[in-house]
């Protein structure tokens, strides 16, 4: 279990008041946004090198984001340590002929000159376009969309989800494809950056200090985000649709658990966690409700899309018990079944189950970081499962899936990441019994770039298919998942890239998977689901990549 050091948390000094100013938007007089320029002594460097983004859509509001950084890899992004006035506009058309909201805010140095504007008073289920201006410099234009009204019947929505984007291990070709498909919303499920240092990579400049250095301080985390967000394909994906984001481990450090990590004593680790969370919030399109308070950050929340879908976004890092048996892949002994150990924490677990009880949505979606399904990663009769996934917290999983089953939750779908591979599974009430009731369906997406090119099926993927009959599809290439949701069906297109170690790879749909309303479980409608599924052969296995 994690060591509790509440007094350490209480000693953190918060800057909520200063940061709150970032999201307060005053009114501007009518003006010609594109032509209005500043006079005299204006910094003519482009401050919008990190692009624009929007996020957490509501029926009447959306957050729009940018960060001023004319020299993104320089200290403080090349900005002076003073507040800067930023003007913004949101319009009903891409040419900004019909501007419906506009205002000013301040980009402040204590938040790395980031801007989070919570634009309110919008119409539900409508596209908008937005942009920013500083002096005579105008940002790129972003496209966003509000959520439907809570009681609205939605005939169809499109969404995508992604995770794990190690910059040095490949180009973001998948994001270019995602941007072209113009989804209604994108969910990012963790590992936006990687904190550890490296000694080489496939991209130019992979040996630069800003890539090879491990991130520990606030400035180092800020620099790492800047280096990732300079990528044009990532910027295009952010500008194409609102994003809903949550963290996994590498936003802080590999496989951290609550206040525990072997790299440092708890009090010292919490300082690092506070640095990581601060930089994360500064670079994501998040509301003030997600502003960190030292090492604490409120990330679990719900996003509703009318009566069609309700997304419960989880945080499976801040409240979890320490990994059992020293982490890694192990036999699930008594500690795994201990009901006092938790992946979500008691409060978040109650929030999730209570929300499902009250839900009126056709599809109830668990947007989280990991595989909920069991992953036996060893060939033969011996059971070996990862301790960092839900497998290492079987009591937590049993309470969640058992709670969904008892409540007769309609159309439970889990989306996850982290594995650096695609895995689609039926969610069983008892994974040890293939005849156990199917409670829901799970789509785990592969990485955007982490793990290099990969292949259709590696030895670890073959083992997963042989040893886990509930797994219906597997693949070990890079990419993301694009989903079309209607009241009658959920279709997941697994979009894969042939190569990410070179620019401009080819993206294609490797498999098209279907879940029908009222029929939990996955059906493959296009693509080869498990080309090498066969009776288990016994011998050494290859663990799943995590």
43 in a structural domain: yes
Question: What torsion do the CA atoms of 297, 315, 289, 188 make, to the nearest 10 degrees?
Answer: 110
Asked whether residue 24 is assigned to any structural domain, the reply reads: yes
Contact indicator for 183, 159 with CB cutoff of 8 Å? yes
**pLDDT, the chain, mean:** 90
The boundaries of the domain holding residue 115 are 18-145
Are 107 and 65 in contact, with CB atoms under 8 Å apart? no
Q: d(Cα 5, Cα 20) in Å, to the nearest integer? A: 27
pLDDT score at 11: 43
Residue 450 included in any domain: no
Buried b vs exposed e over 359-385: b needs ≥16 C-beta within 10 Å? bebbbbbbbbbbbbbbbbbbbbeeebb
400 lies in some domain: no
Predicted local confidence at residue 33, as pLDDT: 56
359-to-55, 308, 489 alpha-carbon distances in Å: 22, 11, 18
Q: What is the pLDDT of residues 415-440, one digit of tens each?
A: 999 999 999 999 999 999 999 999 99
Sign (positive/negative) of CA torsion 53, 57, 60, 63? negative
Residues with Cβ < 8 Å from 178, sequence gap 6 or more? 160, 162, 186, 237, 240, 480, 482, 495
| 274 located within any domain | no
Structure tokens at 448: 């955007």
The answer to whether residue 157 is domain-embedded is: no
CATH number at 132 reads 2.60.40.380
What pLDDT, in 10s, does the model give residues 105-116? 999 999 999 999
Please give the Cα distance from 44 to 166 (Å, whole number). Answer: 32
Residues in the chain, pLDDT under 70: 1-42, 528-546
Domain presence at residue 476: no
pLDDT at 5: 39
In the chain, how many domains are there? 1
């Amino acid at each position: 279990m994690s060591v509790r050091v509440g007094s350490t948390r209480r000693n953190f000094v918060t800057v909520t008041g200063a940061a709150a100013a970032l999201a307060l938007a005053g009114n501007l007089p009518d003006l010609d946004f594109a032509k209005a320029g500043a006079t005299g002594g204006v910094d003519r460097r482009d401050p919008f090198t990190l692009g624009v983004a929007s996020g957490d859509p509501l029926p009447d509001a959306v957050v729009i984001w940018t960060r001023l950084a004319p020299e993104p890899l320089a200290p403080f992004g090349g900005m002076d340590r003073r507040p800067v006035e930023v003007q913004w506009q949101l319009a009903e058309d891409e040419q900004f002929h019909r501007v419906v909201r506009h205002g000013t805010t301040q980009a402040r140095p204590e938040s790395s000159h980031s801007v989070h504007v919570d634009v309110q008073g919008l119409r539900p289920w409508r596209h908008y376009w937005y942009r920013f201006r500083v002096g005579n410099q105008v940002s790129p234009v972003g496209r966003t969309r509000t959520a439907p009204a809570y009681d609205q019947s939605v005939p169809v929505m499109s969404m995508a989800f992604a995770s794990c984007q190690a910059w040095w291990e490949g180009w973001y070709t998948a994001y270019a494809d995602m941007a072209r498909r113009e989804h209604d919303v994108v969910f990012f499920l963790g590992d936006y950056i990687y904190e550890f240092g490296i000694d080489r990579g496939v991209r130019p400049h992979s040996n630069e200090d800003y890539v090879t250095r491990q991130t520990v301080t606030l400035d180092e985390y800020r620099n790492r985000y800047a280096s990732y967000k300079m990528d044009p394909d990532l910027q295009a994906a952010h500008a194409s649709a609102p994003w809903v984001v949550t963290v996994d481990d590498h936003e802080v450090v590999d496989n951290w658990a609550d206040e525990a990590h072997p790299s440092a004593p708890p009090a010292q680790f919490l300082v690092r966690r506070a640095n990581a969370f601060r930089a994360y919030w500064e670079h994501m399109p998040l509301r003030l409700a997600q502003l960190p308070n030292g090492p604490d950050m409120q990330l679990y929340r719900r996003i509703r899309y009318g009566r069609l879908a309700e997304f419960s976004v989880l945080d499976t890092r801040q409240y979890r018990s320490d990994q059992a048996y020293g982490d890694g892949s192990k036999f699930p002994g008594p500690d795994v079944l201990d009901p006092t150990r938790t992946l979500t924490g008691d409060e978040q677990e109650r929030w999730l189950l209570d929300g499902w009880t009250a839900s009126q949505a056709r599809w109830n979606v668990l947007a989280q970081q990991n595989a909920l399904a069991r992953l036996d990663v060893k060939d033969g009769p011996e059971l070996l499962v990862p301790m960092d996934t839900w497998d290492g917290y079987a009591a937590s999983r049993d309470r969640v899936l058992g709670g969904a089953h008892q409540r007769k939750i309609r159309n439970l779908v889990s989306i996850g990441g982290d594995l650096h591979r695609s895995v689609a599974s039926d969610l069983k009430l008892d994974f040890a019994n293939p005849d156990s009731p199917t409670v829901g369906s799970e789509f785990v997406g592969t990485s955007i770039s982490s793990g290099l090119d990969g292949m259709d099926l590696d030895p670890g993927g073959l083992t997963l298919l042989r040893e886990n009959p509930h797994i219906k599809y597997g693949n070990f290439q890079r990419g993301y998942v694009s989903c079309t949701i209607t009241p009658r069906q959920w279709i997941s297109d697994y979009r894969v890239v042939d190569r990410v170690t070179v620019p401009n790879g080819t993206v294609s749909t490797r498999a098209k998977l279907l879940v029908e309303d009222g029929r939990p479980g996955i059906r493959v409608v296009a693509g080869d689901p498990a080309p090498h599924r066969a009776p288990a052969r016994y011998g050494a296995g290859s663990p799943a990549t995590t």
